[in-house]
Structures are given as structure tokens and as C-alpha cells.
Amino acid sequence: MNALGHHSLVDLHGCDEAALKDTAAIRLALLDAVRRAGGTIVTDTFHTFSPYGVSGVVVIAESHVTIHTWPEHGYAAVDVFSCGVTLDHRLIAAHVKTALAAASFSLQSHPRGALPPVAAARAS
């Protein structure tokens, strides 16, 4: 491991429009996903935007999970950022995919804070 953080950019297309507008259900799904994936929840904040759309952030001891939804386009963007290797990013993506009845999702992984070899050895 030569990076301090791991960041997954998850894009979900073809989601159920009503599910993308349901702030309370999205919050419960995301919190449940984080717990199942091994995350430690510090706090969360969710907002419903006018005329529609949800933004949510879960701050976790490992870093953060966020979601933004565009009901009119059947689209949701989820980010999972964690330090360490314990948090299961794919489990979170799969759980949210089910909750939003998404037709498809893509997950791009990005290492964050790559260390030079000596520092990486100290950090491991």
C-alpha cells in the first residue's frame, strides 16, 4: 500500500426517479451501507433541494461517503473515500445500487496521497 487514502467514484444510471427524491430512504440506505461495509459513522447531513434532488454526506472515521441525486436524469453520484483498507467500497456501491434500483453503475478507483517508498514503509 503506497497511498494514504482510497477514493471510489461511483456513477449510477437508470435509477428509479421516486427513489432518487426520497431523502429519508436514501439516508437510511447510505448509513446501512456504511455499517455493513465496516465503516464507523461520525456524523451525517442530508438535504433535499428544490425542486428535487438530494445531497448527503456521511462523515466516517475512515473519511467520507457522499451522494448527490438528479431524479430528472435517473442519475446518482456516490463517492467513497477512506484511509486504511478495511472499508469495503464495492459493498457500499452495490447496496446503493439496489436501494435506487439502478440499471447500471460504474466504479473508478483513485489512490490519494501517494507516498514515496520510504514514507510508505513508515506508514505501513
7 part of the interface to a copy of itself, by CB under 8 A: yes
- Which positions from 22 through 51 interact with a copy of itself, judged by CB under 8 A? 42-43, 45, 47, 49
Stretch binding a copy of itself (CB under 8 A), from 9-17, 27-35, 86-94, 97-105: 9-17
Task: Determine the Cα–Cα distance for residues 55 and 66; give it in Å rounded to an integer.
Answer: 8
- Which positions from 73 through 112 interact with a copy of itself, judged by CB under 8 A? 73, 75, 77, 79, 81, 83, 108, 110, 112
CB atoms within 10 A of CB 1: 11
Q: Cis link prior to 51 (omega < 30° from 0)?
A: yes
Print burial letters for 46-78: b (CB count within 10 Å at least 16), e (below 16): bebeeeebbbbbbebebbbbebbbebeebbbeb
124 part of the interface to a copy of itself, by CB under 8 A: no
DSSP, collapsed to helix, strand or coil, labels residue 27 as helix
**Residues with catalytic annotation?**
63, 68, 83
Interface residue list for a copy of itself (CB under 8 A): 4-5, 7, 9, 11, 13, 42-43, 45, 47, 49, 55, 57, 59, 61, 63-64, 66, 68, 70, 73, 75, 77, 79, 81, 83, 108, 110, 112-113, 115, 119, 123
